Structure 1
Amino acid sequence: MKRILFPAILGALSLGATSASAQADFRSCLSSLRGQAAAKGISGQAFDVATRGIEPDLSILDLMKNQPEFKTPIWDYLAALVDDERVQDGKAAMRQWGQALASAEARFGVDRHVIAGVWGVESNFGKDIGGRPLVQSLTTLVCYAPRRNEYFKGELMATLKIVQDGDINPAYLRGSWAGAFGHTQFMPSTFQRLAVDGDGDGRRDIMASVPDAVHSTANFLKKAGWVKGLPWGYEVRLPQNFNPKLAGRKSKRPLSSWAAMGVTRADGRPLSGNYRAGIIIPAGVNGPAFLVTRNFDAVYSYNAAESYGLAIALLGDRLKGLPGIQTAWPTDDPPLSRAQRRELQALLLSRGYDIGEVDGKIGSKTREAIKDVERRIGLEPRGRPGGKVLEALRG
């Protein structure tokens, strides 16, 4: 199969006008994949059923370029994922599925609040599982995203194996643009390795079964190195002369070493415990700092982004009833919760901006409208949903 991006057809496809040559290129790619699937033990019938009638979805290439964990300021990222609304939803979900979470904790030794934190960050407790057909998304990525062609090909083959094995009804096999699916958004290859039966029906279905999803997530974290009884970490206060070169998730040292430098808990209490930890400063030494253990590394491995790991850990803490971040972020333009983002969108609509639905999700139309407001109030037009823009719209 050709590992090239087809530049001549991208514009046509993105506009929905799929040319005959584009169709031929995609069909040629599918034909090559059918042969490779057969070599992996996937029957021609399973492949044909899974790919019948699919067309490429080029919109996911833009999504691939704009992943929020790496492009959004940390304070905005966390404000949208760990807000009062999600905490309340999470507490309700934990009450409803308390038995499943308790049994997952007992079976794998992973804190149920952290499991729920993954569930909340990944799918808003099952409300935002994602609606893109996995086979369509992954074939698009294999055929049109050459830089990670082999990775997505592996995920596509794992998806076809899931269909062939009958664990999940293929009609419901939908998820994110990158192929993650289910309540806790496993990649297909991760599902194959680590998904478990949590409800005792003999199947592994993280789409329809919350017990399967939370048990599978606990298994993932356990295999990633989670240590029962060890905290993930907590917010700390740094001394004024702290050397930022000492920070880093991998730069772990005994707590006694950090304590000797003058590091304390955020409330001023001394550090205590006989384990090693690192310190991360996601916004620099003038923002919040967090002491992190190997359990944070286990959470980090779920998506390989520190902002993501912090969102899960902090949401888990809030679900326990612990307070949120105590130190202010180093910005004079405060981040917005999802409720505030919805208010911002409603105000934009009331002023005649065509931004679509009021849903708290900041898409391209909302960003363009925000840019116009930013220009009007003398800010750099970045399309950022911040406190200054909201206050200007309220006025």
Structure 2
Amino acid sequence: MRYSAALLPLLVLLSACSSKPKTEAQIQQTSGTPSGGFLLQPQHDVFMQSGDFAYNPEAEKFIDKMVSKHGFDRQQLHEVLSQAKKLNYVLRLMDQQAPTTAPPPGPNGAWLRYRGKFITPDNVQNGVMFWNQYDAALKRAFQVYGVPPEIIVGIIGVETRWGRVMGKTRIIDALSTLAFAYPRRAQYFAGELETFLLMARNEGDDPLALKGSFAGAMGYGQFMPSSFKEYAVDFNGDGHVNLWDPEDAIGSVANYFKGHGWVKGDLVAVPANGQVPGLANGFNTKYSVSALQQSGLSPQSSLGNHQEASLLRLDMGDRYQYWYGLPNFYAITRYNHSTHYAMAVWQLGQAVALARVQ
């Protein structure tokens, strides 16, 4: 835990060089942060008797846990959560995440529509600019974690358009709404809120100032707080882990992939010849290469030493295109459990890499 007197020089420095949101009160504060507290603008007359979660029993249980388990100051937590807002649009967006209707039968171009959201000439050129600007950090991430630049660039491009769309929802509002007003996943989001407040305390951040996605994802790589806890790193060496800093984000994304089984130098996926409509497909399927061959599929290029693969199917509009998915493809799906997502990340990174040398 960092106390305010020790934080002052660091916060002044960060305010000049980081895109992470800071309040004026943080920079000016020089004393008075109690044990178990974090930096925030004082609101001495505000308690949990007011606010959207006033008298909410789950919020009170949460505060009790944070005080007993982590030594937080009860009055400060009342103060923070009394200023958290219940956001109905967050609840609506969460309910929209699960598909309610089955996709239409037969190819309809779903992959082409999804791919077209990300792989456009303008977006690729923005990716080139990002890669060129942070080339040294990307090379160092490859050296340290074994994850190539095109994968990191692809992730950050799909997630936030290289920092252009990082979300405008206060994270405290998003996570409080989902922890205290969304029973279906309340336990998960209460855990994320717990970890978020620990992050804010440890890093000396104002928990009321940080913004991200409607689900509480943060920074260039859109890490949830639990991912921050496990994989975020201080990659620029300034003593502060800041996912709104592109270099820290680059190192953190690379560390995430290393932690989820990325194999340096290995293949990601290989396109296939043939059609196998009778076989189940998806990133979590597993077939022997020989079984796929017996079913009528063959790789368009070498699979290396791989004897097993998942069967990927992309809807090209007039037909289906099949791919062999290899362990590194599966590693990309650990970021988002979607074949379309992982393929878009990989192909966007490849497109940016190609554009850099043209």
Q: TM-score, normalized by length of structure 1? A: 0.68
**In structure 1, distance between residues paired with 2:303 and 2:260:** 25
8 Å CA contact 2:80, 2:208 repeated in 1: no
Q: How does 1:1-395 map to 2 (within 5 A)?
A: 23=52, 27-43=56-72, 44=74, 46-48=76-78, 50-67=80-97, 73-166=110-203, 168-207=205-244, 209-234=245-270, 236-240=271-275, 242-245=276-279, 247-253=281-287, 255=289, 258=292, 262-264=296-298, 269-275=300-306, 276-283=308-315, 286-321=319-354
Query: Structure 1 residues 86, 255: closer, same or farther in 2, change over 3 A?
Result: farther
Identity of aligned residues (%): 28
**In structure 2, distance between residues paired with 1:283 and 1:255:** 22
Aligned-partner residue type, residue 215 of structure 1:
G
Aligned-partner residue type, residue 212 of structure 1:
D
**In structure 1, distance between residues paired with 2:235 and 2:99:** 30
The structure carrying a bigger helix percent of its residues is 1
Query: Structure 1 residues 172, 259: closer, same or farther in 2, change over 3 A?
Result: farther
Comparing both chains, which one has the higher relative contact order based on Cα–Cα distances under 8 Å and sequence gaps of 6 or more? Answer: 2
Deviation per residue, 1:151-193 (Å, 9 max, x gap): 0000000011011112545354211111111110000011011
Q: CA deviation at 1:150?
A: 0.4
8 Å CA contact 1:167, 1:204 repeated in 2: no
CA RMSD of aligned residues (A): 2.9
SS of alignment partner, residue 315 of structure 2: coil
Mark the runs of 5 or more structure 1 residues left unpaired by the alignment: 1-19, 323-395
Query: Structure 1 residues 183, 271: closer, same or farther in 2, change over 3 A?
Result: same
Moved more, 115-124 or 58-67: 58-67
Query: Structure 1 residues 94, 270: closer, same or farther in 2, change over 3 A?
Result: closer
8 Å CA contact 2:171, 2:212 repeated in 1: yes
Moved more, 128-137 or 276-285: 276-285
**In structure 2, distance between residues paired with 1:82 and 1:68:** 25
**In structure 2, distance between residues paired with 1:54 and 1:246:** 45
**In structure 2, distance between residues paired with 1:224 and 1:58:** 34
Query: Structure 1 residues 73, 261: closer, same or farther in 2, change over 3 A?
Result: closer
Q: CA deviation at 1:318?
A: 1.3
8 Å CA contact 1:42, 1:160 repeated in 2: no
Q: CA deviation at 1:68?
A: 8.6
SS of alignment partner, residue 320 of structure 2: coil
Number of residue pairs matched by the alignment: 297
SS of alignment partner, residue 310 of structure 2: strand
